[in-house]
Every structure is written in structure tokens, then in C-alpha cells.
Amino acid sequence: MFRFVIQRSLRAIVTLFAISVVTFALFFILPANPAQLMCGRQCSAANVAQIKHSLGIDEPIAVQYVGFVKGIFVGRTIGNGDFAVKCGAPCLGYSFRGHELVTSTIARTLPVTVSIVIPAAILWILLGTALGMFSALRRGTIFDKMSIGVTLVGASFQIQFLGLVLLGIFAYGLKIMQFPTYTSLWSDPIGWAKGLILPWLSLAIINAAIYARLSRATMLETLSEDFVRTARAKGMPKRTVYIRHALRAAINPIVTVAGLDIGLSLGGAILTESVFSLNGLGFTSVNAVQNEDLPVVLATVMLAAVFIVIANIIVDALYASIDPRVRLGV
């Protein structure tokens, strides 16, 4: 298992390096010019050149990339002269539009996204998987038919619609839930939970429906396999057959989808944060694109890539634990 994780981690490092090179190069192809934005439309070419030198963006791309990578590990000084800003490790750049270090922006917005995604993911995985498994075990019954109908409705919803409906009913209509706000978990756990219940419910309802249909389909397919029929023929208890054999084999696709969904959501739950007016990582990345704040855009893209790569490593490790055939040398 240790060798398996190490190999996947080395591949992840190579992947992140390639993503960082491509992403960093792409931003220099874009027509946006931070120096021109800071100087204004009526600014002379000489002033623009001076600002570019002050920002340190007049150097060759390779030199700037080396400085970017160096800053992540040991920190660096960004810009020259009056624009010089010291940035400690990990340094992801400086937002000259927001006038703050990008790491400060990430530190302020990432907890919001994590607070939305992780509890909601726990809800949708548990609820969706349990509903799908029970439906498969009771195939053809009223419970199965009702669950299929419910999941079809849930999977048809969009967060833009469902979020507003839940807000209208519970926050504005019945007034039994407060309007979504973010409070630090460490300072006020109860306030943290109360302020994020509606985003959690919205994501859980939509994604649980998808996971229920997926888990039902995989469970039905697994129950028809030869090894399950053999276990039944040997007289094993249903509970042992379903949990030890069928569930373990059927859970692999769910683990894959869950890992990717969580990784993508941590990269920025843009629609959810926009609907509920929560200033998380996704909301910040959209604003950065609109304002052509390239350092923030670069940092959020890289951070999203890190989340997805880490999620894939975790999924591979879980695969190796669930199915020994996945391990190296097998």
C-alpha cells in the first residue's frame, strides 16, 4: 500500500508541475495587461513600461515562472522599488487590484468553500448511497418506485432554482432558518452550522439524487454477479452477502465519483456561493476573471488542480484498500 501511494504521489507532482507550466504560460498569452490596467487608458507607453518594471512583469516568462515556484517554497519579493512587496512562503503572488497578497485572499475565502462542500458532501454521499442500496435490495417494491421518482425530481433540479426556492420557503416565508452567512467554525460552531444549513441542503438534495441512482444501478449489477449467487448458495446470511460481498464490490464507482465531485467542488462552488451570496473561493475566482486580476486567477486555478489531484490520490488509495487487485504488482 505504501509503495502504491508513493507512486501515485510522484505522478501527482509531475501532473501539477505540467499544469503550473501550462497555466502560467497561458496567462502571458492573454491580452490583459496589469500595468495598463493600473496606469489607465490615457497612460503613455513609457509610464506603462515603468509600471511593468516596477511590478516585475517585464522579465522573461521563464524567469518569472522560476520566481513563482520559488515563492511557493521559500517566499520572495514581488515587484521593484515602491511596488516591492515581501511575500512569505507559500507565496502565490500579489493582487495589485485587491492590494493584498493572494495567500491572504485564499486564506479568507477557502474556509467558506470548505465549510460548504465537506458537510454537504457527507450528507449527499450517505443519503444517496443508503437510498440507492435499499432501493436495489427492494427492487420492484413501492419503496423502490417512490425512490426512483424522488431521485428523478432531485436530479432535475439546478442549484440556481432549488437554492432560491429553499431561501423563499425557509428564510423569507416560514422564517425558521436564517439567511446564509459564514461564521468561523472555531469561534461559533452553532452559528457556523445555522448559517450554512440551506447551502448544505441544496447541494445534498441535488447530489444525493444522482448518487442514489448510481448506487442503485451498481448494486443491482453486483447482485447479479456469480460470486454473490455463490455466496447465497452456500447459505450465508443475507446481511453478510449484501454488506461484505455485494456492497464492497458496488462501492468502487461511488468512490470514484465522490472523489472527483468533492475535488471539483473544493476548487470553487461557484454557483452555490453566488446563489447564497457567500464570498468563497469560487465567487472570488469569478470576480478575479471579471477584474482581470491575473495573480488571483492563477492561484485559484492551481489550487483547484491541487484539490483534484489530491482527490484522485485518495480515490486510488481507497481503491487499493477495497479491491486488492488494484495494488501494485497484482
* Domain residue ranges of the chain, discontinuous segments joined by +: 31-91, 104-326
Angle at 165 between CA 159 and CA 167, to 5 degrees: 95
Give me the amino acid identity at 13: I
Going by DSSP bridges, is the β-strand pair 76-78/100-101 parallel, antiparallel, or unpaired?
unpaired
As beta bridge partners, residue 95 has 100
Amino acid 309: pLDDT: 87
CA 1 to CA 329: how far, in whole Å?
11
**Left, alpha or beta for 221 (phi > 0: left; psi -120 to 50: alpha)?**
alpha
Largest CA distance in the chain: 86
CA 212 to chain centroid? 21
CA 246 to CA 165: how far, in whole Å?
38
Angle at 275 between CA 261 and CA 270, to 5 degrees: 40
Amino acid 330: pLDDT: 45
Angle at 58 between CA 56 and CA 59, to 5 degrees: 85
> First CA to last CA across the chain, in angstroms?
12
Class of domain 104-326: mainly alpha
Amino acid 288: pLDDT: 86
Question: What secondary structure does DSSP assign to 17-76, as a single string?
Answer: HHHHHHHHHHHHHSS--HHHHHH-TT--HHHHHHHHHHHT-SS-HHHHHHHHHHHHHH-E
239 SS3 class:
helix
The whole model's pTM is what? 0.84
Amino acid 323: pLDDT: 65
CA 275 to CA 14: how far, in whole Å?
36
Q: What is the DSSP letter of 85?
A: E
pLDDT along the chain (330 residues), means of 10: 75 86 75 61 69 70 84 84 80 81 91 93 91 86 86 83 90 87 91 92 89 87 82 80 76 84 82 88 87 83 87 80 58
177 SS3 class:
coil
Amino acid 123: pLDDT: 92
Amino acid 271: pLDDT: 84
**Hey, CA dihedral for 2, 3, 4, 6, is it positive or negative?**
positive
Amino acid 118: pLDDT: 93
